[in-house]
């Protein structure tokens, strides 16, 4: 059976400020998706949150970019905004619903989407990652490590099914174009692109020998849709694991290093990506630090057996302590780069205003 996994998320109101999602939103979303399951549209679903983002994980047989599935997510976000976020004056009620009306597909309308359709294998371990206070480029480094770095993924060397490598689709978010690069042979070209966080984002990964879809990420850039700062894009990622794909532990291993990502306070600062359990998926210090949850599911005929809250484990305590030390260190830079993003990248920039105010006071330097 071909099953489609759709993870669609949006920030439709924070509690309190931009820190987390009120449980009322989760309950309301569960009710809506339960109704859709009863009509047969969905096989299964799981609703959760990371920081101020409400996450709808859904399984069905309708394929990717399906108007009924995307419409369900959009209508759920709109209804909750009207019935809960606005009456309770939640912070930024409906902030990610940028379009006036639904036009068949939530891509480009504000919410983030990661989807994949595949033939369910004999056993199908599925990993779901969702991050808050960062941008889609946050997945570049871990995806590279998972699918192209033999120091992270032993299977690239040891498992004959993976030995040929993987194919990466990289999106140029400025030009709206995509390129497919093969690893290991084009690894340096790949790195030359994906090291530029502000522009290039990995969207999909396939196993090279048979084009099996292995990973799919959301690549929304809200600021490019709205033309101004409207919040960070807080990305999501789906990864299939095991039996000729990276093992669950090889996928998780990539998150043991709390690498620096853009986002955090006002979407304008670099900070470490901290892996956390669902119960700690709440942004606090300086509206962060940016954090990621990792949920495991065994799919069975499209049903989701899970979640297994994978970062809820002392094995990641050291990474979290490390992330806190890095957060403390980089925070001391205050408004100085490289904590603060470069002026071009700052989405809340006051720089043009400052320059305008000072323009007559700039004199030719001796």
**Catalytic residue numbers, as ranges:** 11, 229, 232
Q: Pick one of Mg ion, ligand F6R, none as the site partner of residue 44 (Cβ within 5 to 8 A by kind).
A: none
Which has the closest alpha carbon to 20: 288, 218, 240? 288
Cβ-based nearer residue to Mg ion, 131 or 245? 131
> Given the structure tokens 């924070």, which residue do they identify?
14
Stretch near Mg ion under the rule CB under 5 A, chosen from 10-18, 63-71, 296-304, 327-335 = 10-18
Shortest CB 33 distance to Mg ion, Å: 20
| Sign of the dihedral defined by the CA atoms of residues 191, 196, 197, 203, in that order | negative
- Give the one entry of Mg ion, ligand F6R, none that residue 110 binds, where binding means its C-beta sits below a cut-off of 5 to 8 angstroms depending on kind: none
In the complex, the residues that contact ligand F6R under the rule CB under 6 A are 17-18, 133, 231-232, 265-267, 287
Selected binder of Mg ion within 3, 5, 7, 14 (CB under 5 A) = 14
Residue 124 binds which entry of ligand F6R, Mg ion, none, with Cβ cut-offs from 5 to 8 Å by kind? none
User: Residue 233, interface with Mg ion (CB under 5 A)?
Assistant: no
* Smallest gap from residue 135 Cβ to ligand F6R (A): 9
| Residue 96 near Mg ion by CB under 5 A | no
Q: Which ranges in the chain belong to alpha helices (H)?
A: 23-38, 67-80, 140-148, 155-158, 187-194, 222-226, 248-253, 317-331, 351-358
Query: Which of 149, 234 has the CB closer to ligand F6R?
Result: 234
Write down the least CB distance from residue 61 to Mg ion, Å: 30
Distance of CA 15 to the CA centre of its chain: 20
Instruction: Give the count of beta carbons closer than 10 Å to the beta carbon of residue 287.
Output: 23
Stretch that binds Mg ion, among 6-14, 198-206, 238-246, 298-306 (CB under 5 A): 6-14
CB of 267 to ligand F6R, least distance (A): 4
Q: Does 11 bind Mg ion (CB under 5 A)?
A: yes
Give me the residue whose beta carbon is nearest to ligand F6R. 287
3 forms beta bridges with 118
Q: What is the C-alpha to C-alpha distance for residues 138 and 131, in angstroms, rounded to an integer?
A: 9
Of 53 and 149, nearer to Mg ion (C-beta) is: 53
165 binds, among ligand F6R, Mg ion, none (CB under 5 to 8 A by kind): none
Q: Which partner, Mg ion, ligand F6R, none, binds residue 265 by CB below 5 to 8 Å per kind? A: ligand F6R
Piece of the chain touching Mg ion by CB under 5 A; list 113-121, 130-138, 198-206, 306-314 = 130-138
Q: List the single partner that 53 binds among ligand F6R, Mg ion, none, CB under 5 to 8 Å by kind.
A: Mg ion
For Mg ion, the closer of residues 51 and 272 by Cβ is: 51
Give the separation between CA 231 and CA 254, rounded to whole angstroms. 26
Binding status of residue 306 toward Mg ion by CB under 5 A: no
Q: Which of 196, 135, 198 is nearest to 343 (CA)?
A: 198
Tell me how far, at minimum, the Cβ of 254 lies from ligand F6R, in Å.
23
The pair of structure tokens assigned to 277 is 């359990």
Closer CB to Mg ion, 14 or 125, in the complex: 14
Q: How far apart are CA 356 and CA 315, in angstroms?
A: 51
Q: How far is CA 260 from CA 177, 218, 231, 264, 273, in A?
A: 26, 19, 19, 10, 6
- For the CB of residue 286, give the shortest distance to ligand F6R in the complex, in Å: 8
Note whether 234 binds Mg ion by CB under 5 A: yes
Strands 274-275 and 291-300, bridge-based pairing: parallel
Task: Look up residue 259 and give its two tokens.
Answer: 């690498």
| C-alpha–C-alpha distance, residues 64 and 4, integer Å | 7
Query: In the bound complex, what is the minimum distance in angstroms from residue 271's beta carbon to ligand F6R?
Result: 11
DSSP secondary structure letter of residue 86? T
Give dist(CA 209, CA 187) in Å, integer: 17
As given in the structure block, the two tokens for residue 54 are: 């409400």
On the question of a cis peptide bond just before residue 16, with omega within 30 degrees of 0, the verdict is yes
Q: Which of 7, 9, 36, 52 is in the footprint of Mg ion by CB under 5 A?
A: 52
Give which of 292, 229, 221, 293 is closest to 265, Cα–Cα: 229
- Binding-site ranges for Mg ion (CB under 5 A): 11, 14, 18, 51-53, 92, 132, 234
């Amino acid at each position: 059976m071909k099953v489609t996994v759709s993870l669609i998320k949006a920030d439709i109101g924070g509690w309190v400020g931009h820190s987390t999602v009120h449980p009322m939103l989760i309950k309301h979303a569960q009710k809506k998706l339960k109704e859709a399951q009863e009509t047969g549209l969905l096989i299964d679903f799981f609703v959760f949150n990371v920081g101020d983002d409400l996450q709808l994980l859904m399984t069905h047989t309708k394929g990717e970019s399906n108007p009924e599935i995307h419409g369900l997510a959009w209508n759920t976000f709109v209804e909750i905004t009207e019935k809960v976020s606005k009456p309770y004056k939640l912070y930024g009620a409906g902030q990610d619903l940028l379009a006036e009306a639904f036009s068949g597909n939530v891509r480009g309308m504000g919410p983030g989407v990661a989807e994949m359709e595949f033939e369910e294998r004999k056993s199908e371990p599925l990993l779901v990652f969702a991050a808050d206070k960062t941008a889609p480029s946050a997945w570049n480094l871990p995806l590279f490590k998972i699918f192209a770095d033999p120091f992270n993924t032993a299977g690239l060397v040891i498992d004959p099914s993976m030995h040929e490598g993987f194919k990466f689709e990289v999106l140029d978010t400025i030009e709206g174009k995509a390129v497919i690069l093969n690893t290991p042979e084009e690894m340096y070209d790949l790195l030359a692109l994906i090291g530029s966080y502000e522009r290039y984002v990995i969207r999909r990964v396939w196993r090279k020998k048979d084009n099996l879809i292995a990973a799919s990420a959301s690549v929304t850039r809200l600021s490019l849709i709205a033309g101004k700062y409207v919040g960070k894009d807080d990305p999501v990622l789906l990864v299939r694991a095991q039996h000729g794909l990276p093992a669950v532990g090889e996928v998780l291993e990539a998150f043991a290093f709390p690498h620096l990502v853009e986002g955090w306070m006002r979407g304008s600062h670099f900070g470490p990506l901290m892996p956390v359990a669902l119960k700690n998926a709440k942004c606090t210090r300086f509206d962060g630090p940016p954090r990621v949850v990792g949920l495991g599911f065994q799919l069975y005929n499209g049903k989701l057996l899970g979640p297994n809250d994978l970062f809820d484990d002392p094995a990641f305590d050291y990474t979290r302590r490390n992330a806190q030390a890095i957060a403390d260190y980089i925070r001391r830079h205050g408004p100085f780069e490289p904590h603060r993003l470069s002026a071009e990248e700052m989405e809340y920039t006051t720089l043009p205003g400052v320059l305008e105010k000072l323009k007559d006071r700039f004199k030719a330097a001796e």
